Structure formats: C-alpha cells, structure tokens
Amino acid sequence: MTGSHPARRGRVLASAAALCLLLTGCAGQAAPAPDPAASASAAEAQRSREARAAEASASRSAAEASARAARASADAERSAAAAASAEAERAAQEAERIAEEQAEAQAAEEAARAQAEAEAAEAEAAAAEESARIAEEERLAEQARIAQGLDASPPVSFAIPAIDAGSELMRLLLRDDGSLAVPPAEPGSPAAWYAHSPSPGQMGPAVLLGHVNATDGSGGVFARLTELEPGDTIEVEREDGTLAVFAVDRGVAYGTDEFPTDEVYGDTEAPELRLITCDGYNAFTRTFEENYIVYATLVDAY
C-alpha cells in the first residue's frame, strides 16, 4: 500500500503539467478583433425581433380587448333584448288588462244604457197605455153623453163639407092644413129646420128641409144632396154655441106617395138627423115625383 502512493503523485503531477502547457498555449495566441457592422446588424435584428414581438404582443392585446368588448357588447345586447322582451311582455299584459277593463266598462255602460232605455221605453209604454185608457174612457163617456143626446137648442146654420153646401137655417112649422111648410125657393134661399122636430143633437130625429133647385133654374141649397156617401159629415151650429156633428148613414129616394112618415119623424134610440129635398124631376109634367132623404146619426158635439 505504501508503495502505490508515489505513482499516483506522478500521474497527478503529469496532468497538472499538461494543463499548464495547454493554458500557456491558449494565452499565447491573440483573440480576433470584433466586427462593428456585424455587431450593428445583430443589434438591429435584435431590435426588429423585439419590435415585432412587441407589435405582436400589442396586436394580441388589442385583439383580446376587442374580443372582450365584443363579448361585453353581445352580453349587453342580450341583456337589453331580454329586458326589452320582458318589457314588451309586461306592456302586452298591461294592454290586455286595460283592454279587458275597458271592454268590461264599455259592456257595463252599454248594459246600463240598454237597461235605462228599456226602463224608459217601459215607462213610455205605460204612459201611452194610461193615455190610451184615459182616452178610451173619455171616448166612451163622450159616446154615452152623445147617445143620451144634447139639451134642446135651436139650430142656426149647417155645413156639409163633402158637397160644399151650407146656409143659415130658417124655422118652419106646419101649414094651416097640417102639411109641412117649405122654405122659399128663390135663388140663394136657405134651408130650414122643422121646429116641431127635436133640435139637432137632441134625442130623436131633427128634420132639415131644402130645395134641390131655385125658381130661376139654378141649384138650390140641397142640389147635391144625392152625392153624399156613408160617413160624410154634416155640421149643425146651435144657438147654445155647440157644434153637433152627424155622420151620414144612407140616402134613399121615395116616391111622393110613398113618403116614410114614421121612419122620418118617429122616435129613435139616438140623436139623429134627416135632410129632405125633392128628386126625380119629370120634364114632361115639370114636377118632382120623388123625395130624397138623407139619414144621419150624431157622432160628436163640442
């Protein structure tokens, strides 16, 4: 073991000597001088790489910022759209509620108006019915009054609108021989009331007489008596101021030897009127061979 130590020291010393020689040889050679252009080019390339890197980094940052802004805008738009949709839905619901309330209010108003109109119509109908009832009662009372006849009051004039006839009325009685007197026959002579008959409007048959022609051949006061038809009216004014209105029942021609005395002068169940004139003129004998009689009944008095 002791003998091995000098060898190891020799190897170590040899290695150290070789290292010393190597270092001495390296130090003895001169290092080459640096190239300024290459250094500048390298620096410029380095700066270009750095600038491009910075530009790329800035572009990435800008892109990331733009993407974030776009996402934020999209999020905002989605939020706004959701809010608008919610608002539209709320507005639609509110509009529907208001429309329903308005429809209900309008329906209630129309129902109330219809009810009011129905009540008004019912009230009007009731009033009309009451008026009709009162009018009917008055009509029946008037009919009853008329059916009983008016008090006695001599007539002063008459008018027949349908044939444009009328005049003042004379009063006639019987002749000394018991025959009925007749009114004068001169042109324009009036008709006459037979004063022994009831006054027009009294219960019974009032009798008026008039000529069909005058002495000069012109028409008399009863010239158109045969033209009267059922329903035509005859108005007689009385001294008491009452106007007695009669409606024509019929007109009948009788031969002079067939005069219906009882039918003309007999009692009646209502106030009636008789208008008597001549008819059936015979040109050969120049005489009238008939009497024409109009029968009428009292229908009103005021």
* CATH number of the domain within which 204 lies: 2.40.260.10
Specify the pLDDT at position 33. Answer: 63
Specify the pLDDT at position 14. Answer: 47
Question: 130 and 213 share a domain?
Answer: no
Q: What is the pTM of this model?
A: 0.58
Specify the pLDDT at position 237. Answer: 98
Asked if the model's pLDDT at residue 172 lies above 70, the reply is: yes
Dist. CA 49–CA 42, nearest whole Å: 10
Asked if the model's pLDDT at residue 255 lies above 90, the reply is: yes
Mean pLDDT of 260-265: 96
With respect to residue 115, please indicate whether it lies within any of the assigned structural domains.
yes
Confidence band for 139, pLDDT divided at 50, 70 and 90: confident
Question: 291 and 205 share a domain?
Answer: yes
Specify the pLDDT at position 11. Answer: 52
Quote the domain boundaries for residue 239: 150-301
Asked if 279 and 292 count as a contact pair (C-beta separation under 8 A), the reply is: yes
With respect to residue 31, please indicate whether it lies within any of the assigned structural domains.
no
CB count, 10 Å around CB of 214? 17
Question: 230 and 136 share a domain?
Answer: no
Specify the pLDDT at position 22. Answer: 44
pLDDT digits (tens, 9 = 90+) for 44-79: 888 888 888 888 888 888 888 888 888 888 888 888
Look at the block and give the residue holding tokens 């309008």. Answer: 106
Question: 143 and 154 share a domain?
Answer: no
Q: Phi first, then psi: what are they for 208, rounded to 5°?
A: -120, 140
With respect to residue 51, please indicate whether it lies within any of the assigned structural domains.
no
With respect to residue 85, please indicate whether it lies within any of the assigned structural domains.
no
Question: 133 and 275 share a domain?
Answer: no
Distances (CA, A) of 59 to 54, 55, 156: 8, 6, 132
Question: 255 and 281 share a domain?
Answer: yes
With respect to residue 125, please indicate whether it lies within any of the assigned structural domains.
yes
Q: Which of 131, 148, 165 is the last residue in one of the domains?
A: 148
Mean pLDDT of 263-285: 95
- What total number of domains does the chain contain? 2
More confident call, 140 vs 7: 140
**Residue 121: strand, helix, or coil:** helix
- Who's near 148: CB < 8 A, 6+ residues apart? 203
With respect to residue 279, please indicate whether it lies within any of the assigned structural domains.
yes
Specify the pLDDT at position 16. Answer: 47
With respect to residue 35, please indicate whether it lies within any of the assigned structural domains.
no
Specify the pLDDT at position 23. Answer: 41
* 167 residue type, one letter: S
Asked if the model's pLDDT at residue 29 lies above 70, the reply is: no
Asked if 274 and 214 count as a contact pair (C-beta separation under 8 A), the reply is: no
Question: 185 and 252 share a domain?
Answer: yes
Dist. CA 25–CA 239, nearest whole Å: 184
Mean pLDDT of 206-220: 95
Asked if 171 and 236 count as a contact pair (C-beta separation under 8 A), the reply is: no
Question: 158 and 285 share a domain?
Answer: yes
* Structure token pair of residue 167: 């005049």
Look at the block and give the residue holding tokens 């002495």. Answer: 215
- Who's near 16: CB < 8 A, 6+ residues apart? none
Specify the pLDDT at position 223. Answer: 96
Dist. CA 166–CA 120, nearest whole Å: 49
Mean pLDDT of 191-206: 97
Question: 243 and 158 share a domain?
Answer: yes
* CA angle at 191 for the pair 187 and 195, rounded to the nearest 5°: 145
Cα dihedral sign, 130-133-135-138: negative
Q: Which of 148, 172, 207 is the last residue in one of the domains?
A: 148
Question: 228 and 142 share a domain?
Answer: no
pLDDT > 70 in the chain, percent: 89
Question: 162 and 254 share a domain?
Answer: yes
* CA angle at 169 for the pair 165 and 171, rounded to the nearest 5°: 145
**Residue 6: strand, helix, or coil:** helix
- Who's near 210: CB < 8 A, 6+ residues apart? 167, 183, 190, 191, 192, 220, 221, 222, 225, 275, 276, 277
> What's the number of CA atoms in the CB half-sphere (13 Å) around residue 164?
1
Distances (CA, A) of 196 to 119, 200, 203: 60, 12, 13
Confidence band for 24, pLDDT divided at 50, 70 and 90: very low
Question: 220 and 297 share a domain?
Answer: yes
With respect to residue 81, please indicate whether it lies within any of the assigned structural domains.
no
Look at the block and give the residue holding tokens 């219906």. Answer: 260
